Amino acid sequence: MRVLAISGGMSAESSTGKLTDRLLAELAQSAEASTSGRGVFGGVEPIIGERLDLRPLGHDLVNMVTTGMASPALEAALDRVSAADGLILAAPVYNAAPVGLFTLFLQLLPQRALAGKPVLLAGTGGSVRHSMVFDGQVRPLIAYLKGLALPTVVFAATEDWGAPESRSGLSHRVQSAAGELRAALEAGGRVPTEPIDGVGRVAPASRVSRTGGFGRQPGALVDEFDPMEVTPFEQLLNG
């Protein structure tokens, strides 16, 4: 199982990058402890973590917005997101919002790139007053992209670095979040991405239309807010 940790840090040695590495290390340690004693045939795949920095992709992201074309480097980064079984998304907070490159990258992801995947949210900032930014702004975006945002958000303010654990609680948050991500991956890593009927079963594919709002069968279970169900503007203009 592959976990891609995306860091939105704006410098080579940013605190966001350090937090990202810390989460990856804790995930590896948690996965090792989880599989210990199960033997070679324990049935649990190893978790492979890797990091992707957005800083080198800054110009590519802006160019894709203005031209609609992804550079080879950005295309490879987007493919890595689609291929991952789980994600760690970490970004610094500026003026009560995640750094722009971070949200821009999420907005340019292919449709369903996050569908059903567990996502660990993390961030850094100068003050604990920014700690609710990810719950208030990023979590809804992950939900819109059909990702599964995990309960624990790891936020590290300036005062958390170097502070005793009894005061900051940062290590506890890192351990809790990494444990949640590991558990989600070992449980299958994905949640149903098709509509669910009234008794908790996945609706048959024959009942679901992917025609963008036209030609749905009567009684079809469709999420009207699903980006896959939005009718292209050109199709609306053509009648």
| 53 residue type, one letter | D
% of the chain with per-residue pLDDT over 90: 59
Question: Model-level pTM?
Answer: 0.76
pLDDT at 168: 85
Q: Give the DSSP H or E segment for 20.
A: helix 15-35
Q: Which two tokens stand for residue 231?
A: 């009718």
Q: Where in the chain is the domain with CATH 3.40.50.360?
A: 2-186
Q: Are 47 and 3 in contact (CB under 8 A)?
A: yes
Is the model more confident about 236 or about 12? 12
Asked which of 27-41, 118-132, 150-164, 196-210 is least confident by mean pLDDT, the reply is 196-210
- The secondary structure of residue 70, as a DSSP letter, is -
For the domain with range 2-186, which CATH number is right: 3.30.465.10, 1.10.540.10, 3.30.230.10, 3.40.50.360? 3.40.50.360
The region that residue 162 occupies, defined by phi over 0 for left and psi between -120 and 50 for alpha, beta otherwise, is left
Strands of the chain, DSSP E:
2-7, 48-53, 86-94, 97-98, 118-125, 148-149, 154-157
Q: What is the mean pLDDT of residues 70-93?
A: 97
Neighbours of 121 (CB within 10 A): 25
